C-alpha cells in the first residue's frame, strides 16, 4: 500500500478538529455532524489498518520516514507493530463513542469541545505510531494541552486544582524522560527508537535511564504512589474527558514501558523489576481497599482503574522473574500479552463505567453514591448495562475484564507464587467494591424523589453502551483476534529483553 495510512490517521482528526473550530460557536449542529463524520472516517481507516496489518511479522509496518529537523537528525518517522495497532484501534473506537456520548450533553462551546477531542485523538494516534524519540515526545506532551483545556473549560468546581495537579504531575514525570531521550541522542547520535533498542548502554546509565522513563510512565499509567492526580482529574473532568483519560491516556504509560523501558534498558529493567512489581502489587491490593470506601462513584472507578493498571505493569515486569526461574521454560509472553489485553479491555470497561456515571450525573447532577439507591426500579436497561460493566470490572469470565487478569495471574505464578497470590486478591477486592456499588446504587427500594423521577436510557445512550457491551463480551468470548495481532511483536520483544545489552 502506498498510502501514508499512519499520517492520514494522525492528521485527519487534527485537520477535522481545526475545521470544526472554524465552524464556530454558532453552528453547533454542524460541529457535531462534522466531528462525527471525521471520527467515523478515522475509525474506518484504522479498521483498514487492522485488516492490512500482518501479525506474523514483528517488523514495523506502514513505516513512513521524512527528515524533519535535519540539524539534529530528527525525523518524522511513523510505523506500527503489534503493540501499537490495538491501541490505535482503541483510540479511534473511543474517538467515535465519545462524540456520540457528548452529542447533546455538552451545550457550551460545542465546537471547541469536539475539536479538542478530535485533536487529542490525532495526537494519540501519532504518539502510538511515532518511531522517532523526539516526535514521540512532542506528541506525548502536546496531548496534555487539549486534555488540560477539556478539564479546565468543561470541568467541575475544583477543576483548577485538578487541572494544575494533572499538568504538573505529568509534566514533572516527562521532564525526566526528556533528559533521558536527550542523553540517548547524544550517546547514539540518532533519535530512532528502534536504533536505541539495539544501542549498548552500561548498567549505571541504564539504571538512570530506566528511572527517568519510570518517572514519566509511572505517572501516566498511574502507579502507586504517583497516582493521586487521577482521582481528582476524573472527578473534575466532564464525562468525555474521563472516558478518554481512563480508556486511552492511561495506556500511554503501559505503551511507554513496552516501547522504551523494556527494550532500551533491559538490564536495568531486570535489575529493578522488584521495584515495579512491588509497586504494582501495592496498587492491586492497597488501591483495592481504597476503592472500597469511596463515596463518589467517579473516584471509585478512578481508584479501580489504578488497581487494574497494576496488572499491566505486573504483567510486563514478571518476565524477568520468569527468565530467572529455572523451573519454567516459558511464560513471559503470556504476561506481556496479558498486560496488553488488560490495557485494551480496561479501556472498554473503564470507558463504559465513566459513561454510566455520566448518564446518572446528567440526570441527577450528583456523583455521590449516597444520593442514589434503587435505580434499577426506574432505569432497568441502564441497570442491566451497569451490572454487566461492573461484572467485567470484577473480572468475570466471558467479559474482557477476565482475560488480561487471568493471563497475568497465570504468568505471575510462574514467576513467584506470592505474586500470583497477591494479584489474585483482586478477585475478592474487585468484586467487593464493584458489587457493593451495585448494591447501593442499583438495587434496593427507590431511595428518594429524585431517583423516582429518573428516566431510562435514551436511544443515543443505549447505542453507546450497547456498542461497548458488545466489545466487552466479544473480547471476553473470543480474545484470539486481539491476542493474535501481537504475537510476532511480543516474541521479538521477549527475545530482545532476554539478552543483555551490557
Candidate residues 78, 177, 246, 403; the one interacting with another protein per rule CB under 8 A? 403
At residue 76, the 3 state secondary structure works out as: strand
Candidate residues 70, 107, 449, 480; the one interacting with another protein per rule CB under 8 A? 480
Regarding 483 and contact with another protein (CB under 8 A), the answer is yes
Vertex 388: Cα angle to 382 and 392 (nearest 5)? 140
Q: How far apart are CA 269 and CA 287, in angstroms?
A: 24
Candidate residues 294, 342, 345, 393; the one interacting with another protein per rule CB under 8 A? 294
**Piece in contact with another protein (CB under 8 A), picked from 27-35, 141-149, 233-241, 283-291:** 283-291
Q: Which of residues 139-198 bind another protein (CB under 8 A)?
A: 165, 168-169
Candidate residues 171, 397, 453, 458; the one interacting with another protein per rule CB under 8 A? 397
Q: In Å, how far are 268, 318, 320, 331 from 271, measured between CA atoms?
A: 5, 12, 9, 19
Regarding 449 and contact with another protein (CB under 8 A), the answer is no
Q: Which CB, 47 or 477, lies closer to another protein? A: 477
**Piece in contact with another protein (CB under 8 A), picked from 191-199, 361-369, 412-420, 451-459:** 412-420
**Piece in contact with another protein (CB under 8 A), picked from 40-48, 187-195, 434-442, 453-461:** 434-442
Of 58, 50, 120, which is closest to residue 85 (Cα–Cα)?
50
CB-facing half-sphere around the CA of 175: CA atoms within 13 A: 5
Residue 173's CB is within 10 A of a number of other CB atoms, namely 21
Instruction: Tell me the pairing of strands 74-80 and 61-69.
Output: antiparallel
Closest approach, Cβ 290 to another protein, in A, equals: 4
Closest approach, Cβ 328 to another protein, in A, equals: 7
Residue 499's CB is within 10 A of a number of other CB atoms, namely 9
Regarding 289 and contact with another protein (CB under 8 A), the answer is yes
3-state secondary structure 147-212: HHHHHHHHCCCCHHHHHHHHHHHHHHHHHHHHHHHHHHHHHHCCCEHHHHHHCCCCHHHHHHHHHH
**Piece in contact with another protein (CB under 8 A), picked from 212-220, 248-256, 409-417, 450-458:** 409-417
Q: Which three cell numbers stand for residue 314?
A: 505486573
Candidate residues 156, 323, 436, 448; the one interacting with another protein per rule CB under 8 A? 436
Q: Where does residue 130 rank: exposed (0-12), middle (13-18), buried (19+ CB within 10 A)? A: buried
Length of the chain, in residues = 502
The residues that bridge with 61 in the sheet, in sequence order, are 80
Q: Could you tell me how many residues of this chain bind another protein (CB under 8 A)?
A: 65
Vertex 43: Cα angle to 37 and 48 (nearest 5)? 130
Q: Which CB, 3 or 418, lies closer to another protein? A: 418
Residue pair 261/201 in contact (Cβ under 8 Å)? The answer is: no
Regarding 244 and contact with another protein (CB under 8 A), the answer is no
Residue pair 247/348 in contact (Cβ under 8 Å)? The answer is: yes
**Piece in contact with another protein (CB under 8 A), picked from 114-122, 184-192, 284-292, 455-463:** 284-292
Candidate residues 366, 377, 448, 492; the one interacting with another protein per rule CB under 8 A? 377
Q: Is residue 328 within a helix (H) or strand (E), and if so which, with residue range?
A: none
Regarding 215 and contact with another protein (CB under 8 A), the answer is no
Q: Which three cell numbers stand for residue 168?
A: 504538573
**Piece in contact with another protein (CB under 8 A), picked from 25-33, 49-57, 195-203, 291-299:** 291-299
Regarding 417 and contact with another protein (CB under 8 A), the answer is yes
Candidate residues 47, 160, 202, 228; the one interacting with another protein per rule CB under 8 A? 228
Q: How far apart are CA 111 and CA 103, in angstroms?
A: 11
- Contacts with another protein, 69-88, as mask; x by CB under 8 A: --------------------
Closest approach, Cβ 386 to another protein, in A, equals: 13
**Piece in contact with another protein (CB under 8 A), picked from 119-127, 141-149, 342-350, 442-450:** 442-450
- Contacts with another protein, 320-359, as mask; x by CB under 8 A: --------xxxxxxx--xx---------------------
Regarding 412 and contact with another protein (CB under 8 A), the answer is yes
Q: State the Cα torsion 146-471-358-248 to the nearest 10°.
A: -20
- Site residues (vs another protein, CB under 8 A): 165, 168-169, 225, 228-229, 286, 289-294, 328-334, 337-338, 374, 376-377, 387, 391, 396-398, 402-403, 406-407, 409-414, 417-418, 420-421, 424-425, 427-428, 431-432, 435-436, 438-439, 442-445, 477-480, 483-484, 487
Amino acid at each position: 500500500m502506498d498510502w501514508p495510512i499512519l499520517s492520514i490517521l494522525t492528521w485527519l482528526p487534527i485537520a477535522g478538529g481545526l475545521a470544526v473550530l472554524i465552524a464556530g460557536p454558532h453552528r453547533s449542529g454542524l460541529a457535531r455532524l462534522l466531528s462525527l463524520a471525521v471520527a467515523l472516517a478515522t475509525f474506518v481507516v484504522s479498521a483498514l489498518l487492522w485488516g492490512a496489518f500482518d501479525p506474523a511479522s514483528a517488523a514495523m509496518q506502514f513505516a513512513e520516514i521524512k527528515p524533519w529537523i535535519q540539524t539534529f537528525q530528527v525525523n518524522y518517522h511513523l510505523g506500527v507493530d503489534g503493540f501499537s495497532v490495538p491501541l490505535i484501534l482503541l483510540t479511534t473506537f473511543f474517538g467515535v463513542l465519545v462524540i456520540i456520548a457528548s452529542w447533546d450533553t455538552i451545550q457550551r462551546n460545542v465546537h471547541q469541545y469536539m475539536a479538542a477531542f478530535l485533536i487529542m485523538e490525532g495526537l494519540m494516534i501519532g504518539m502510538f505510531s511515532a518511531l522517532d524519540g523526539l516526535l514521540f515526545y512532542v506528541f506525548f506532551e502536546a496531548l496534555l494541552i487539549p486534555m488540560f483545556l477539556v478539564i479546565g473549560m468543561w470541568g467541575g468546581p475544583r477543576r483548577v486544582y485538578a487541572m494544575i495537579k494533572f499538568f504538573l504531575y505529568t509534566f514533572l514525570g516527562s521532564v525526566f524522560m526528556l533528559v533521558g531521550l536527550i542523553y540517548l541522542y547524544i550517546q547514539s547520535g540518532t533519535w530512532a527508537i528502534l536504533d536505541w533498542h539495539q544501542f549498548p548502554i552500561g548498567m549505571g546509565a541504564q539504571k538512570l535511564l530506566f528511572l527517568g522513563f519510570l518517572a514519566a510512565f509511572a505517572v501516566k499509567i498511574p502507579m502507586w504512589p504517583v497516582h493521586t492526580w487521577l482521582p481528582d482529574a476524573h472527578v473534575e473532568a466532564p464525562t468525555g474527558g474521563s472516558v478518554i483519560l481512563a480508556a486511552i491516556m492511561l495506556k500511554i504509560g503501559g505503551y511507554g514501558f513496552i516501547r522504551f523501558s523494556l527494550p532500551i534498558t533491559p538490564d536495568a529493567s531486570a535489575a529493578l523489576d522488584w521495584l515495579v512489581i512491588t509497586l504494582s502489587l501495592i496498587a492491586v491490593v492497597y488501591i483495592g481497599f481504597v476503592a472500597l470506601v469511596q463515596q463518589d462513584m467517579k473516584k471509585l472507578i478512578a481508584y479501580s482503574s489504578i488497581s487494574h493498571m497494576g496488572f499491566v505493569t505486573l504483567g510486563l515486569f514478571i518476565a524477568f522473574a520468569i527468565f530467572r526461574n529455572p523451573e519454567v521454560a516459558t511464560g513471559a509472553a503470556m504476561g506481556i500479552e496479558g498486560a496488553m489485553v488488560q490495557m485494551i479491555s480496561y479501556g472498554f470497561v473503564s470507558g463504559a463505567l465513566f459513561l454510566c456515571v455520566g448518564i446518572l450525573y446528567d440526570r441527577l447532577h450528583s456523583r455521590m453514591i449516597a444520593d442514589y439507591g434503587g435505580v434499577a426500579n426506574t432505569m432497568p436497561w441502564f441497570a442491566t448495562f451497569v451490572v454487566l460493566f461492573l461484572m467485567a470490572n470484577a473480572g468475570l469470565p466471558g467479559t474482557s475484564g477476565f482475560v488480561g487478569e487471568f493471563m497475568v495471574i497465570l504468568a505471575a505464578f510462574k514467576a513467584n507464587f506470592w505474586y500470583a497470590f497477591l494479584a489474585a486478591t483482586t478477585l475478592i477486592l474487585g468484586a467487593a467494591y464493584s458489587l457493593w456499588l451495585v448494591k447501593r446504587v442499583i438495587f434496593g427500594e427507590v431511595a428518594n424523589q429524585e431517583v423516582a423521577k429518573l428516566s431510562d436510557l435514551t436511544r443515543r445512550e443505549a447505542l453507546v453502551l450497547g456498542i461497548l457491551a458488545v466489545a466487552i463480551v466479544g473480547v471476553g468470548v473470543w480474545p484470539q483476534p486481539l491476542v493474535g495481532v501481537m504475537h510476532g511483536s511480543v516474541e521479538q520483544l521477549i527475545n530482545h529483553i532476554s539478552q543483555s545489552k551490557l
